[in-house]
């Protein structure tokens, strides 16, 4: 009997050779497709990375620059290794440039010589500034928008260019970023130094040829007219116009002329009605406020007024008059306001402002002063002219809320040998004039009329006085 069982048979040599040959043929056919797929994936991956890096660069620029309110420096539009420096409202300075110190070029934030990478690799970095009319400019004070252009660099791709254009804040006004600005003409007749940009819608004349301007000069031949912002003077002083509001809270009400006697101390809010006047004699101390429907007259030296917080020191329905001599010294801790004029003849007249806008001295019409040493801390406001004949020195200190000096028409300083010190913006809707004095100014001068500086000048632009201006304040006509 034969044993039953399964018979097994392996691949023959011919079959094995045929299978190997078929696999080789199949592999050789598919290999180009795999290679193409791999290259396609590599390009896709590189493209995705490039787009991601470009997006990071543009998003960073867009996010930071839309907060810019002042351009500090910008490279020429042909510079492919460009730079841009600008300041944000909180005082932060942002420096953007191309870091070429490493093996690849990097779009970076520069901070005191240290680079913080934003995006890479980048072959070219270009910043292009545009003015209000869309023309290219690298004059920092005229730049209204900036275009960022980045050319990405990659070993696989030839590189693509990506751009983004962002404007400065909408409420930014060009004239605010000049050290010296005039809607008309600027005449410099003496020596000195101006650190900052200078612009006139008319002409700029350095008659003595001895004023050093460390900044850009532009006039009617360089650009279109730049607008002077509008300061709503009436709005700033309207709280002092309603005398009835003070009458309602007065501690003492007089219906006849009221005299503050020499050497006496008075406490509270004093209201003088029926169009009558208040008279303040020598060495009077008033811990409160003097409100009169008529005028308020200082008739002696050595007096002081210290009102309650946010209350004015003096409010007059007519004039405030200090008719003394150059030996008088008067100190006031609060706003002095006259519906008409403020007239000052004194030695030392010191006012520290208070209230919602930190106003020191304000007049509905003119401020006229012949004083050895006026010292006003807070905004000084005149509805029309502001004229100071200074015999020794004068000091005016503003803050971040309002200019140091605001005039509805003219600001004028005169008298030889005196020293004028201004910290803040000096703003006049008319001319700004100095004659025979020395002007030391940290801030800027903005004038709607001619600027005539017939005195030595040391003017240094400082942007901190623009940090927190009320939004409504700077409006164009």
- Asked if the model's pLDDT at residue 244 lies above 80, the reply is yes
| Residues of the chain above pLDDT 90, percent | 48
Question: In this predicted model, which residue has the larger pLDDT, 269 or 119?
Answer: 269
Please tell me the predicted confidence (pLDDT) of residue 37.
Answer: 58
Give per-residue pLDDT as tens, 139-161.
776 788 899 998 887 655 566 88
Do 198 and 215 form a contact (C-beta atoms < 8 A)?
yes
Please tell me the predicted confidence (pLDDT) of residue 10.
Answer: 62
Please tell me the predicted confidence (pLDDT) of residue 63.
Answer: 86
Tell me which residue has tokens 């001599």.
Answer: 325
Tell me which residue has tokens 């409504």.
Answer: 472
pTM: 0.70
| Residues of the chain above pLDDT 70, percent | 85
Q: Print the SS3 string covering 260-272.
A: ECCCCEEEEEEEE
Q: Mean pLDDT of all residues in the chain? A: 85
Token pair recorded at residue 183: 């809607």
Question: In this predicted model, which residue has the larger pLDDT, 440 or 234?
Answer: 440
Instruction: Give the pLDDT band of residue 99 (cuts 50, 70, 90).
Output: confident
Give per-residue pLDDT as tens, 291-329.
999 999 999 999 999 999 889 999 999 999 998 888 999
Task: Specify the DSSP class assigned to residue 354.
Answer: B
Rg of the chain in Å (alpha carbons): 36
Give per-residue pLDDT as tens, 257-294.
999 999 999 999 999 999 999 999 999 999 999 999 99
* Range in 78-87, 136-145, 375-384, 413-422 with the lowest mean pLDDT: 136-145
Please tell me the predicted confidence (pLDDT) of residue 35.
Answer: 61
φ, ψ at 69 (rounded to 5°): -120, -5
Give the up-direction half-sphere exposure of residue 104: CA atoms within 13 A in the CB hemisphere: 13
Give the up-direction half-sphere exposure of residue 137: CA atoms within 13 A in the CB hemisphere: 19
Question: In this predicted model, which residue has the larger pLDDT, 132 or 272?
Answer: 272
Tell me which residue has tokens 């890479």.
Answer: 120
- Asked if the model's pLDDT at residue 475 lies above 50, the reply is no
- Asked if the model's pLDDT at residue 390 lies above 50, the reply is yes
Give per-residue pLDDT as tens, 355-385.
888 899 999 999 999 988 999 999 999 999 9
- Asked if the model's pLDDT at residue 194 lies above 80, the reply is yes
Please tell me the predicted confidence (pLDDT) of residue 143.
Answer: 80
Tell me the average pLDDT across 171-189.
84
Please tell me the predicted confidence (pLDDT) of residue 417.
Answer: 64
Please tell me the predicted confidence (pLDDT) of residue 146.
Answer: 92
Instruction: Give the pLDDT band of residue 46 (cuts 50, 70, 90).
Output: low
* Range in 28-37, 78-87, 190-199 with the lowest mean pLDDT: 28-37
Please tell me the predicted confidence (pLDDT) of residue 116.
Answer: 85
Phi-psi region of 378 (alpha: psi -120 to 50; beta: other; left: phi over 0): left
Per-position b or e across 338-352, b if 16+ CB within 10 A of its CB? bbbbbbbbbbbbbbb
């Amino acid at each position: 009997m034969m044993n039953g069982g399964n018979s097994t048979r392996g691949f023959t040599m011919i079959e094995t050779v045929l299978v190997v040959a078929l696999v080789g043929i199949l592999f050789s056919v598919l290999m180009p497709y795999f290679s193409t797929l791999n290259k396609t994936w590599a390009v896709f991956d590189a493209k995705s990375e490039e787009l991601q890096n470009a997006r990071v660069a543009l998003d960073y620029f867009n996010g930071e620059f839309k907060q810019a309110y002042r351009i500090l420096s910008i490279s020429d539009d042909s510079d492919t290794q460009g730079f841009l420096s600008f300041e944000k409202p909180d005082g932060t300075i942002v420096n953007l440039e191309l870091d070429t110190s490493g093996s690849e070029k990097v779009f970076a934030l520069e901070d005191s010589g240290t680079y913080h990478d934003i995006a890479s690799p980048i072959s070219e970095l270009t910043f292009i500034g545009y003015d209000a009319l869309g023309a290219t400019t690298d004059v920092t004070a005229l730049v209204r928008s900036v275009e960022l252009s980045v050319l990405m660099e990659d070993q696989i791709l030839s590189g693509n260019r990506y751009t983004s254009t962002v404007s400065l804040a909408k409420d930014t006004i060009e004239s605010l970023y000049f050290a010296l600005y005039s809607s008309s003409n600027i005449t410099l007749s003496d020596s000195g130094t101006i650190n900052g940009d200078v612009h006139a819608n008319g002409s700029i004349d350095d008659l003595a040829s001895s004023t050093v301007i460390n900044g850009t000069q532009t006039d009617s031949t360089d650009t279109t007219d730049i607008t002077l912002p509008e300061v709503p003077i009436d709005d700033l002083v309207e709280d002092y116009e309603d005398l009835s509001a003070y009458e309602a809270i007065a501690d003492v009400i007089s219906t006849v002329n009221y005299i503050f006697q020499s050497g006496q101390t008075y406490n509270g809010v004093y209201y003088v009605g029926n169009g009558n006047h208040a008279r303040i004699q020598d060495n009077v101390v008033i811990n409160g406020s003097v409100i009169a429907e008529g005028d308020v007259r200082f008739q002696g030296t050595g007096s002081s007024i210290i009102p309650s917080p946010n209350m004015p020191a003096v409010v007059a329905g007519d004039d405030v008059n200090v008719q003394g001599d150059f030996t008088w010294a008067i100190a006031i801790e609060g706003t002095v306001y006259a519906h008409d004029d403020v007239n000052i003849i004194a030695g030392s007249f010191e006012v520290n402002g208070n209230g919602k806008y930190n106003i020191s001295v304000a007049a509905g019409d003119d401020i006229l002063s012949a004083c050895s040493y006026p010292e006003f801390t807070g905004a000084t406001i005149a509805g029309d002219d502001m004229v100071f004949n200074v015999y020794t020195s004068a000091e005016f200190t503003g803050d971040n809320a309002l200019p140091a000096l605001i005039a509805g028409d003219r600001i004028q300083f005169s008298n030889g040998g005196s020293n004028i010190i201004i910290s803040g913006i000096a703003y006049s809707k008319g001319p700004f004039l100095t004659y025979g004095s020395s002007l030391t100014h940290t801030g800027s001068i903005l004038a709607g009329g001619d600027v005539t500086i017939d005195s030595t000048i040391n003017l240094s632009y400082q942007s901190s006085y623009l940090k927190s201006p009320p939004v409504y304040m700077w409006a164009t006509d």
